[in-house]
């Protein structure tokens, strides 16, 4: 049944690729993967394979890849992606020797891929369970590790009708899971080779913090002490916090929207009633001539990518968007800077959101929620500082998963 579904999916992707640019990139990338492998694989090298579905999973795997590269240079690293949102952003990542899409999970593709690479071990990040690849890896005796994985009772593996597909979990040598609930769920179906390590993203955000950039444009803009940073915001998020700051003008506001398109940027500017707005690229182009403009502006709009993780450093309070849609973006990038973090209500599947609710994170479901909390922060500097300290401690206290995983893997080789 699984293989039938895969072939139907393959046919659907081929058809849909004619009408959707993202799907077309994925379709072409998967077909190009074998050419890339043919050109770049060193038959004498020892490969460790990391697979990440998309950009978020890549960030979870990155600390492992960099630790492995630093401590075990005898291995080369193959990195594969499923989604264009991962591959297109990180296809030039210098921490891997070969980067390509993972061809779809047919038996033929899996055999050909593994015959070409001959990996000595494989790491699948979080939710990746490729049935044919995993069964062939097990048949070949290749150690396979699931990293930063997290399981919930509603997943197919734990339903009566998912028992056959659930056998794919027996292909893993070891699971390094995020929480105790995941360990207990796996134990119920007889899987006990499990270690609760937490999430490698905590290690990654600490790395990001250490490598944060100094941003002269932002430093000029934030001269007053009260700064609110909204990262990866969507229109439902913006409707809430912009309304507040239109009424409370003693704060400076930095907005880094998730979608950076001219229509969206103009929409944000129209919402900012009477506020003096400057765009980051406008100021960066000629900073000397823009210093006075920056200092007198109320709002800085980040109209480029790649700066957000460093920008959170300049905030007194942060807001991470997406919680009124498909789900919140990266809360940890904000919390690591010792600032309290707001986020929307769609966060039940995000363990870090549940943890931060007890440690400097605040779920809001309406403008009234946001207004009440912001008014308290504005009136009580000690409370604001303590909530920020708790958020930062939440991140720092959960680091170390990378070291545990690498030590465990290599102690058994």
Residue matched to tokens 């500017």: 269
Q: Render each residue's pLDDT in the chain as its tens digit; 413 residues.
A: 665 655 454 555 555 456 666 656 665 667 788 999 999 999 999 999 999 998 889 999 999 999 999 999 999 999 999 888 788 889 999 999 999 999 988 899 999 999 999 999 999 999 888 999 999 999 999 999 999 999 999 988 888 888 888 889 999 999 999 999 999 999 999 999 999 999 999 999 999 999 999 999 999 999 877 999 999 999 999 999 999 999 898 899 999 999 999 999 999 999 998 889 999 999 998 898 889 999 999 999 999 988 999 999 999 999 999 999 988 999 999 999 999 999 999 998 898 999 999 999 999 999 999 999 999 999 999 999 999 999 999 999 999 999 999 999 988 66
CA atoms of 336 and 51, how far apart (whole Å): 26
Q: How far lies 71's CA from each of 75, 240, 401, 407, in Å?
A: 10, 47, 16, 11
Q: Strand (E) positions, 162-251?
A: 174-177, 194-196, 227-233
CA atoms of 397 and 256, how far apart (whole Å): 28
Q: Which two tokens stand for residue 171?
A: 């292909």
> Which pLDDT value is given to residue 24?
61
Output the CA torsion sign for 155, 160, 162, 168: positive
Residue 267: CA atoms inside 13 Å, Cβ hemisphere, count? 13
Helix (H) or strand (E) holding 156: none
> Which pLDDT value is given to residue 32?
86
Angle at 388 between CA 386 and CA 390, to 5 degrees: 70
CA atoms of 331 and 318, how far apart (whole Å): 9
Number of H helices, E strands in the chain: 20, 14
Give this prediction's pTM.
Answer: 0.85
Q: Are 79 and 69 in contact (CB under 8 A)?
A: no
Angle at 404 between CA 398 and CA 410, to 5 degrees: 165
Q: How far lies 355's CA from each of 45, 179, 339, in Å?
A: 42, 11, 15
CA atoms of 237 and 259, how far apart (whole Å): 13
Instruction: Pick the closest to residue 281 from 245, 256, 310, 251 (CA basis).
Output: 256
């Amino acid at each position: 049944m699984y293989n039938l579904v895969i072939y139907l999916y393959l046919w659907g992707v081929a058809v849909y690729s004619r009408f959707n640019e993202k799907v077309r990139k994925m379709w072409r990338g998967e077909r190009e993967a074998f050419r890339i492998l043919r050109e770049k694989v060193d038959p004498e090298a020892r490969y460790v394979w990391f697979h990440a579905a998309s950009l978020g999973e890549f960030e979870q795997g990155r600390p492992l890849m960099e630790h492995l590269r630093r401590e075990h240079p005898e291995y080369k690293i193959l990195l594969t992606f499923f989604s264009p949102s991962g591959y297109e952003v990180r296809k030039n990542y210098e921490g891997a020797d070969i980067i390509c899409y993972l061809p779809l999970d047919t038996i033929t593709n899996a055999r050909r891929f593994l015959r070409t690479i001959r990996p000595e071990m494989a790491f699948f990040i979080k939710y990746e369970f490729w049935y044919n690849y995993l069964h062939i890896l097990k048949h070949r005796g290749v150690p396979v590790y699931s990293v930063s994985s997290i399981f919930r009772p509603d997943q197919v593996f734990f339903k009566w009708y998912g028992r056959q597909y659930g056998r794919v979990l027996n292909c893993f040598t070891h699971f390094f899971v995020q929480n105790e609930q995941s360990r207990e769920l796996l134990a119920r179906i007889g899987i006990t080779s499990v270690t609760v390590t937490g999430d490698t993203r905590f290690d990654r955000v600490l790395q990001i913090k250490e490598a944060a950039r100094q941003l002269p444009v932002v430093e000029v803009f934030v001269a007053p002490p009260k700064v609110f940073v909204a990262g990866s915001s969507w229109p439902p998020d913006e409707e809430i916090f912009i309304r507040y700051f239109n009424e409370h003008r003693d704060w400076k506001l930095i907005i880094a929207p998730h979608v950076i398109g001219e229509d969206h940027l103009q929409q944000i500017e129209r919402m900012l009633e009477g506020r003096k707005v400057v765009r980051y690229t406008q100021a960066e182009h000629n900073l000397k001539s823009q210093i006075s403009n920056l200092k007198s502006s109320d709002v800085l709009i980040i109209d480029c990518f790649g700066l957000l993780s460093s920008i959170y450093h300049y905030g007194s309070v942060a807001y991470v968007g997406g919680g009124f849609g498909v789900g919140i973006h990266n809360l940890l990038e904000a919390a690591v800077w010792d600032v309290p973090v707001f986020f929307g209500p769609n966060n039940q599947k995000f363990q870090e959101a549940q943890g931060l609710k007890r440690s400097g994170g605040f779920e809001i479901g309406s403008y009234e929620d946001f207004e009440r909390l912001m008014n308290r922060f504005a009136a009580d500097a000690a409370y604001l500082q303590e909530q920020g300290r708790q958020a930062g401690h939440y991140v720092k206290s959960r680091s170390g998963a990378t070291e545990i995983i690498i030590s465990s893997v290599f102690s058994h080789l």
